[in-house]
Amino acid sequence: MIIKSKSIKSKANLSNVLRYILVGHDLTEDGFVLSRAIRGDRKYHKELIQSKGDPALEAAVLEARIDNMLVQFETNNDKRFIPHAKANRAYHEILSFHAKDSKHLSKNALLEVARTYAKERSPNSLIVSSMHRNKDHLHIHVIVSAVELGGKVKRLSRSKFRELKQNMERYQDRFLRLEHSKVDHSKKKTSHF
């Protein structure tokens, strides 16, 4: 699997990314939304299921869910031990699988990948994950708070991020046994110039 990470520095950007990963992807038969340490999210999930078929009500519940998540990410960010004006609020990370392996990945397998990634990446942080399917290409979007629940900043160095990728590659080899999604994360990037 390919894993990419992008920093989120503003509240507006965080809101946009939450909206992007959640709108239209929660109630599909093969999709999921995983939220960890987000208070009240189960209530919104139930309300979304109950509002299915009423687009206006569904949109209102989804907006309330996004607002709830945004408030919790912002409140958690305010607990930062050392405030910094241009600090990262969160990280938007994407776990991508090769299109030829997508047919071998069930919703439950991808949900377990999301859970494992959340645990490996930052076990003490707010996390929201959602599966997307673009054509036949599966990928998981993950938003990870840059601040752990206790106020400590959670930033991964390049070497720690490479280690995380290698751990997820081993997980993939052991449990998913995919042929086309293998990536050698141990190689250092080299310039092609």
Q: Where are the beta strands (DSSP E) in the chain?
A: 2-8, 33-36, 90-96, 127-134, 137-145
Q: What is the pTM of this model?
A: 0.90
Give me the pLDDT at residue 193, please.
39
What is the crossing angle of helices 107-121 and 158-171, to 10°?
Answer: 150
69-78 pLDDT, tens digit per residue, is 999 999 999 9
Is the Cβ–Cβ distance between 151 and 75 less than 8 Å? no
| Model confidence at 192: pLDDT above 60 | no
Query: Closest Cα to residue 52, out of 15, 24, 16, 18?
Result: 24
| Other beta carbons within 10 Å of 15 | 17
43-70 pLDDT, tens digit per residue, is 998 998 898 889 999 999 999 999 999 9
Give me the pLDDT at residue 186, please.
67
Read off the DSSP letter of residue 141.
E
| Other beta carbons within 10 Å of 163 | 15
Mean pLDDT over each residue of the chain, to the nearest integer = 89
Is the Cβ–Cβ distance between 144 and 120 less than 8 Å? no
